[in-house]
Structure 1
């Protein structure tokens, strides 16, 4: 599914058709749409060697050029309402289109926004929306608590499928049962082990794998020196985890895609 096929879009939780706007195409024939983000190569060239040394790639956030038509005649009140909605956001807000509601962009108005009209209060809005990263995302998923309060020495199994085509770094909420430690081993990611020690009974910690941050509900308690191994990550495809330690675990995650 592509943007051009969509009738309406949703921005900041509000449907465009409820605001009197629908998605339109301004050109005939083949439609053009961003497929992959802009990428540059970092290389080093030395004298006497024609082939440069490759260092890394660098991807840049992309901009969507969008066209929306007013379904009815507009007036100043309607224009002001749309301007506040699309042009006065304090931070990137989710944007997704009707033909693929599971593909999210996080965008802010950038560059120019133009109103094309026929002097009869009928027209089309052209606007550029810049994505916050080179990637697109799934909706945010949050599980209920999984109960491992009677975990054995053999641990417990848990499986999740990463439906994106890039790695995903979840947020975990862990409620410890009894004093001790917890451990998460991802057998699908070369057996990488995340271990957190010195937890207190009934302590609740929030583990943000993306930011590599841990927050405890016990005041003045910090666990930065109690972490061993790698923060939990979902690799592409099925992820088979082994979980050790008596606890309750809740997962929050958002799959990420390139393209």
Structure 2
């Protein structure tokens, strides 16, 4: 929970190391952002009062960040804080109540310094994220060995959303590799005619395929079905002689 946290990390720095602490500036019950705002894409046709639903658009998550400047402040302290927070790219942001959940955010819109004559006060910022979601820390599995027989791997998605993991295949002998999620009905990911010793790296969320021997010229050998992991336990069958590891982040609404 953001409001209940005493401190936070932004980028690679801890807020208390900067002499500031997270605060709730509102009395009474604490308010938190529950879901990112969203809208419905739909088309209305003349003569039909019921619009055609075309999907849902989720906006990047946005929330307020308020922090107290411990003790009095001067121009140098404020300059240090500004340099830390005024970034041009999204930075990891996590809060002390659960440091394993990470937002990727930067300050936008409203930002105010509220203080008294003794130079004591707090800052109010609006933080905008790069997506509607927060994420776990990156998780990398062990290197699984399917060089002698097919194997089945269990991956427990402890987040709140379906995720598209990345994975790396090291081919043993020339041939095909297939990766299938037995826990859902999606099509398997399949590579054909890989070379002995070739390493294929698949970046799931960005849909990038890279080969250690052929660079980005392996899409013709791939059926372009990217592995998906639904919420809960996923049983992944790996067919074809290879070694394989997975990398992923849980996703939270």
- TM-score tier after normalising by the smaller chain length: over 0.9
Instruction: Report how far residue 75 of structure 1 moved.
Output: 2.1
Find the residue that maps to 1:218 and give its secondary structure: coil
Gaps of 5+ in 2: none
| 2:36/2:62 contact within 8 Å kept | no
| 1:193/1:229 contact within 8 Å kept | no
Gaps of 5+ in 1: none
Q: Map 1:1-259 onto structure 2 (within 5 A).
A: 2-87=1-86, 89-150=87-148, 152=149, 155-190=150-185, 192-219=187-214, 222-228=217-223, 230-258=225-253
Count of aligned pairs between the two proteins: 253
Instruction: Report how far residue 219 of structure 1 moved.
Output: 4.6
Instruction: Report how far residue 39 of structure 1 moved.
Output: 1.2
Following TM superposition, the consecutive aligned residue runs of length 4 or more in structure 1 with deviations greater than 4 angstroms are none
Find the residue that maps to 1:235 and give its secondary structure: coil
| 1:192/1:229 contact within 8 Å kept | no
Find the residue that maps to 2:76 and give its secondary structure: helix
Instruction: Report how far residue 22 of structure 1 moved.
Output: 0.6
| 1:67/1:127 contact within 8 Å kept | yes
Instruction: Report how far residue 221 of structure 1 moved.
Output: 6.3
| 1:168/1:256 contact within 8 Å kept | yes
Using structure 2 for the length normalisation, give the TM-score.
0.94
Instruction: Report how far residue 220 of structure 1 moved.
Output: 5.2
